[in-house]
Structure 1
Amino acid sequence: MTSILVVLTAFGQGVAQPSKVHSSFKPGEVWTDTEGNHINAHGGGILFHDGTYYWFGEHKVEGKNGNKAMVGVSCYSSTDLYNWKNEGVALPVAAEGSGSDIEKGSVIERPKVIYNEKTKKFVMWFHLELKGQGYAAARTAVATSDKPTGPFTFIRSLRPHAGLWPKNATEAHKTVPIVVTDNDPKWEQKVAAGAYLQRDFEGGQMSRDMTLFVDDDGTAYHIASSEENRTLHISKLTDDYLGFTDDYVRIFPGGRNEAPAVFKKDGKYYMITSGLTGWAPNPARSAVSDDMMKGWKELGNPVRGTEDEQKTTFWSQSTFVLPIQGKKDSFIFMGDRWRPQNPIDGRYIWLPITFEEGKPVLRWQDEWKLDTSEKKQTKR
């Protein structure tokens, strides 16, 4: 029997929607869970474990507080990637007045979960901004659970690598101060040269938009936008995935990259990022390397389509690249269409990644299925 449920529109009004079984992806449309409610897992990432996909994301609410963490990190499960069951709140925020770093009203963004084969623990990292501080804290945070659906237990937040230079730091970074003054006409160049790397040396490096990647040998990496979002930092995590080793590097200094998403194909590491324009969409970027910790080369905008589509990445921002289980070299680009005026109504843009001349490529498809991901679909 078909049930009728309420889905919130961009204006917060209730519109009756029938729950249904999904058999394809329809990027940009309201994507309902198995109960008929709009999936609430923004800025998310996916873990595949024991035959099931788990989608973790930011639980948004209506109105002016919609982009603050009022509930926590949500979790959904699926075996086919089309139909998702709401598993509830995997990591709840702490109570108001508790003084916790993840107190209700803080900012929790881009949660990613990986599984540690040695400890048998599920480990979640996320970008955290402390309550009442806007985006000044620029911290990363970690939580763990014995089950993929949680509940996760918050461990700590931090700015990583306090008192440590990146492996590719120069002697000048360590010994020649770079001074940046107000209204400095060379501000961007000095930041790229390492001004904020030096500034944050003692207290730890900034960490905002982030993702995780586990390599074939089990090594886990934390990739984050640092230095006031001007430079990406790639860090090796400890064997238990609960902390940082001393091994980290800067890549694309001054490149203004956000929203990193990393995947591996044919022994090469690929990265898709966005530019730096706040909630507004911008042209995606892509890059490749033979080594996670060095040698990254830019490949340009992966989007193929109209000028508007290329300029806006189909009006979305990257959050994760999902390898499709059982389909060799098949990957899904996951992006978000942010709606900052009513964040709960944000939409999901999932598209297949194809390759041309060794470069990842994204093309718009109104509707597509896993078994037709490499075929041309209806063009918008």
Structure 2
Amino acid sequence: MAQTTDTLNAPPPVLNGLYADPNIAVFGNKFYIYPTTDGTKGWLSTSFTCWSSNNLVNWKNEGVILDLPHDLTWAAERAWAPTIARKNNKYYYYYSANVNIGVAVADKPTGPFKDPLGKPLIPKGTKRGQMIDPMVFVDDDGTAYLYFGQGQCNIVKLNDDMVSCDTSKIISFKPQGYNEGPFMIKRKEVYYLMWSEYDTRDPRYSIAYATSSSPTGPFKKAVGYPVLKGKGVVKGAGHHSVVQVPGKDEWYIAYHRFKIPGGDGYNRETCISPMRFDAQGNIMPVDVFEKVKPVKVKK
């Protein structure tokens, strides 16, 4: 008899509290999540936290790593959707602040992070749509790219210093269905550009993707099913990130959903699910009811 999924009961969130837009990463033998602090009408959060885990299941709050009113001179609220990368033996943290994209730098993945510019890296109005939802991707050759934008997707190559770029060379395009939250991964020489469709307040919020042989495209959208979408009690599942277990073809997707029970687009919680590929390299639909088992990273 085929096993049926209990869609009335979902696994608990991995972070304790209201957090959205999680960026999951692995540095050394630890996993980290960098989320948006949620729970305010209009998404008016003012600070960012970092969470760490040895096994993807148990997460520790490392505290506030960037406080907009205290650490920035150019923005005090709307602290949204960060991303992080390691290069030059430093950690570079990109984030949305008052609908601009900023960058901060630290010597450790848990901060403290400092603003090296005193101004946005990508100011609002640079391109059409909102300058939000940065995602940093460092390719195998060390070249770093920033993906960002709501309304359309933008790609720009970062300079070697990781805190500057030539905004005149931004590539802008809009994949079918694209709304926000771009994310890039590379597997077996294929580049997967993923993004969120619909609005984060919409229960249909979901994840789609396209592939390319280049980090800057052109991209061909995968047809058929979304990678991730809500079902049953799980609603508004989207704005994701993906992590690969070092040394393995093993992948996990972090994302938010409406808080269970009673959540909405302003009250969201962070979850993790396994993400798999088929033999042809297609991303298979994620089961939002599958529990994550403990994962260890070898030193």
* TM-score (ref. length: structure 2): 0.80
Deviation digits for residues 296-320 of structure 1 (CA, Å, limit 9, x no counterpart): 1100354479x9749x996311321
Query: In the alignment, which residue of structure 2 is the partner of 1:235?
Result: 156
The answer to whether structure 1 residue 57 and structure 2 residue 54 are counterparts is: no
Distance 1:27 1:238 in 2: 43
Change (3 A) 1:268 1:108: same
Query: In the alignment, which residue of structure 2 is the partner of 1:221?
Result: 145
Give aligned pairs, total: 280
Query: In the alignment, which residue of structure 1 is the partner of 2:247?
Result: 326
The answer to whether structure 1 residue 102 and structure 2 residue 80 are counterparts is: no
Secondary structure of 1:363's aligned partner: coil
Distance 1:313 1:333 in 2: 15
- Within a 5 Å distance, the mapping from 1:189-228 to structure 2 comes to 206-225=130-149
Change (3 A) 1:224 1:214: same
Distance 1:321 1:94 in 2: 30
Query: In the alignment, which residue of structure 1 is the partner of 2:101?
Result: 140
Q: Conserved in 2, the CA contact under 8 Å of 1:28 and 1:347?
A: no
* 1:300 aligned partner, one-letter code: V
The answer to whether structure 1 residue 68 and structure 2 residue 44 are counterparts is: yes
Distance 2:123 2:227 in 1: 38
Query: In the alignment, which residue of structure 2 is the partner of 1:176?
Result: none
Query: In the alignment, which residue of structure 1 is the partner of 2:59?
Result: 84
Structure 1, unaligned runs of 5 or more: 1-25, 33-37, 130-137, 163-199, 373-380
Query: In the alignment, which residue of structure 1 is the partner of 2:120?
Result: 158
Distance 2:239 2:190 in 1: 20
Distance 1:94 1:304 in 2: 37
Fraction of identical pairs, as percent: 22
Change (3 A) 1:51 1:363: closer
Name which of structure 1's ranges 335-344 and 359-368 shifts more when overlaid on structure 2: 335-344
Does 1 or 2 have the higher relative contact order (CA < 8 Å, sep 6+)? 2
Change (3 A) 1:50 1:349: closer
Q: Conserved in 1, the CA contact under 8 Å of 2:197 and 2:208?
A: yes
Q: Conserved in 1, the CA contact under 8 Å of 2:209 and 2:227?
A: no
Query: In the alignment, which residue of structure 2 is the partner of 1:21?
Result: none
Change (3 A) 1:27 1:109: farther
Aligned-residue offset at 1:112: 0.9
Q: Conserved in 1, the CA contact under 8 Å of 2:206 and 2:236?
A: no
Taking only aligned residues, the RMSD between alpha carbons, in angstroms, comes to 3.3
Aligned-residue offset at 1:148: 1.3
Aligned-residue offset at 1:360: 0.8
Change (3 A) 1:161 1:266: farther
Change (3 A) 1:82 1:160: same
Q: Which structure's CA Rg is the greater one? A: 1
Q: Displaced runs of 4+ in structure 1, greater than 4 A?
A: 203-206, 339-345
Secondary structure of 2:283's aligned partner: strand
Query: In the alignment, which residue of structure 2 is the partner of 1:295?
Result: 218
Partner of residue 14 from structure 2, selected from 20, 23, 31: 31
Deviation digits for residues 10-35 of structure 1 (CA, Å, limit 9, x no counterpart): xxxxxxxxxxxxxxxx9652435xxx
Change (3 A) 1:220 1:313: farther
Bigger helix fraction: 1
Q: Conserved in 2, the CA contact under 8 Å of 1:125 and 1:140?
A: yes
Distance 1:277 1:252 in 2: 15
Aligned-residue offset at 1:370: 4.7
Query: In the alignment, which residue of structure 2 is the partner of 1:274?
Result: 196
Q: Conserved in 1, the CA contact under 8 Å of 2:274 and 2:290?
A: no
Distance 1:322 1:332 in 2: 5
Deviation digits for residues 73-104 of structure 1 (CA, Å, limit 9, x no counterpart): 10111121111111111112225xx982232x
Change (3 A) 1:81 1:298: same
Aligned-residue offset at 1:139: 1.5
Structure 2, unaligned runs of 5 or more: 1-8
Distance 2:34 2:72 in 1: 25
Query: In the alignment, which residue of structure 1 is the partner of 2:6?
Result: none
Distance 1:204 1:157 in 2: 17
